Chains A and B, each alone.
Chain A
Amino acid sequence: QQPVQSPQAVILREGEDAVINCSSSKALYSVHWYRQKHGEAPVFLMILLKGGEQKGHEKISASFNEKKQQSSLYLTASQLSYSGTYFCGTRGSSNTGKLIFGQGTTLQVKP
């Protein structure tokens, strides 16, 4: 079942922060975050495993709340290069490699 992302779109000024949420109605093994720019392949950002961990990648970090089956992606002090569409992908078990993606969140960072 497809995870649900919110919001659908965000417009920011450079330096502002944003949070993108990803929720699933099914138990999750892992949550993956990707960013895709127009006409390009999705680019991997990070993976979070069940256990409620939080990860960081420069000014982009994420958390995974196993009880709520929800993950959040945090973008701080946004830069123009952060613009694109962000997708969360979920895996239901460790045995499967397939990812089911949310509908995406379009982020536009303006000067």
Chain B
Amino acid sequence: SAVISQKPSRDICQRGTSLTIQCQVDSQVTMMFWYRQQPGQSLTLIATANQGSEATYESGFVIDKFPISRPNLTFSTLTVSNMSPEDSSIYLCSATLRRGATEAFFGQGTRLTVV
């Protein structure tokens, strides 16, 4: 199994600023992902964080708005840039130990409020 820690757990930010969310996994994982979940809604995949290379973004998400880094097998960051109130959401880090039919582990999430 894997335990995922996210920091910060919550933040209130001014519009126009940026916030970087950190995700640390307690074991080496093959794949890491970032999701967004608006209150009462489903989990929407933002991107796959690739070690040592550019992240793979899903439709509707771009690198300029959500730059992602993954320098090693256990750590990733997501930055929410030039924030607006529409970015208020919960951001979740997820990881799988290997490809294929394996469970995904989730961090507790970062609750972001943009004012």
The chain A residues found within 8 Å of chain B, CB to CB, are 2, 29-30, 32, 40-42, 44, 47, 49, 87, 89, 91, 94-104
A97 touches B31 (CB 8 A): yes
- What residues of chain A lie closer than 8 Å to B98, measured between beta carbons? 97
- What residues of chain A lie closer than 8 Å to B106, measured between beta carbons? 41-42
- What residues of chain B lie closer than 8 Å to A44, measured between beta carbons? 103-105
Nearest to A99 among chain B residues (CB) is: B104
Q: Among B30, B42, B44, B108, which residue has its beta carbon within 8 angstroms of that of A41?
A: B108
A95 touches B101 (CB 8 A): no
- What residues of chain A lie closer than 8 Å to B42, measured between beta carbons? 2, 87, 101-104
A87 touches B99 (CB 8 A): no
Min C-beta distance of A59 to chain B, whole Å: 20
Q: A40-B108, A44-B103 are in contact. Are A97 and B92 (CB under 8 A)?
A: no
Q: List 14 A-B contacts (CB under 8 A).
A: A32-B104, A41-B108, A44-B103, A47-B101, A49-B101, A89-B43, A91-B101, A96-B99, A98-B48, A99-B45, A99-B94, A99-B104, A101-B45, A104-B41
Q: A41-B92, A97-B30, A97-B96 are in contact. Are A47 and B103 (CB under 8 A)?
A: yes
- What residues of chain B lie closer than 8 Å to A89, measured between beta carbons? 43, 104
Contact with A along B84-98 (1 / 0, CB 8 A): 000000001010101
Min C-beta distance of A67 to chain B, whole Å: 19
Give bound CA distance, A29 to B45, whole Å.
18
Min C-beta distance of B8 to chain A, whole Å: 15
Nearest to B94 among chain A residues (CB) is: A99
Nearest to A103 among chain B residues (CB) is: B42
A95 touches B48 (CB 8 A): no
